[in-house]
């Protein structure tokens, strides 16, 4: 069993999809280890997405991720990182498989409804960015 980190992004929270997305996640066998609604500051988003800071869309990404609240969560399941990325689907919803969260809820490559960690190492870093040890169960 291992863990991954996710955020329901501002677009999906604004549109009222939080409950439906959490239901899809738990119905797919993920256990919720930690959960909260919060809003990232510009400094938070610049740090969280530092790996993308040279990309042309970095400004847009930071603007988008800070425009409203997100729902952050730590999830547990066997093969959590890879299985969660399968569940969310391709970054670009036009390429996302049928049945994936992004196919159902994402609007564009930028406003794509959910985040999923891309490695066990980043899952641990991203979980610690949003949650203290006392918030993970
Ligand atoms: P995350 O799970 O959110 O990390 O998505 P990902 O791993 O599928 O994609 P990646 O890490 O490459 O990009 C991170 C995020 O940057 C994406 O989820 C999008 O929100 C945003 N992004 C990526 N490419 C573009 C782009 O071309 N334009 C815009 N506006 N945003 C982009
Ligand atoms: Mg990524």
Tens of pLDDT along the chain (137 residues) come to 799 999 999 999 999 999 999 999 999 999 999 999 999 999 999 999 999 999 999 999 999 999 999 999 999 999 999 999 999 999 999 999 999 999 999 999 999 999 999 999 999 999 999 999 999 99
b/e sequence 21-56, b meaning 16+ C-beta within 10 Å: bbebbeeeebeebbbeeeebeeebbbebbeeeeeee
Domain of residue 79, CATH code: 3.30.70.141
Catalytic residue among 17, 52, 115, 130: 115
Examine the residue annotation and report whether 17 is marked as an active-site residue of this protein.
Answer: no
For residue 110, give the ligand 1 atom closest to its CA: 31
Q: What is the pTM of this model?
A: 0.97
- Tell me 15's DSSP state: T
**Ligand 1 touching residue 116 (CB < 6 A):** yes
The range of the structural domain enclosing residue 40 comes to 2-135
Q: How many domains does the chain have?
A: 1
Among candidate residues 111, 11, 19, 16, the one with its CA nearest the CA of residue 73: 19
């Amino acid at each position: 069993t291992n863990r991954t980190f996710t955020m329901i992004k501002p677009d999906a929270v604004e549109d009222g999809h939080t409950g439906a997305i959490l239901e899809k996640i738990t119905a797919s066998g993920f256990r919720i280890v930690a959960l909260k609604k919060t809003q990232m500051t510009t400094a938070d988003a610049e740090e969280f997405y530092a790996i993308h800071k040279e990309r042309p869309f970095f400004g847009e990404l930071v603007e988008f991720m800070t425009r409203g609240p997100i729902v952050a969560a730590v999830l547990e399941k066997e093969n959590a990182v890879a299985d969660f990325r399968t569940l969310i689907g391709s970054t670009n919803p036009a390429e996302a498989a049928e049945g994936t969260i992004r196919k159902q809820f994402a609007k564009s490559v930028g406003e794509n409804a959910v985040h999923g960690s891309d490695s066990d190492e980043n899952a641990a870093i991203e979980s610690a960015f949003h949650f203290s040890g006392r918030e993970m169960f």
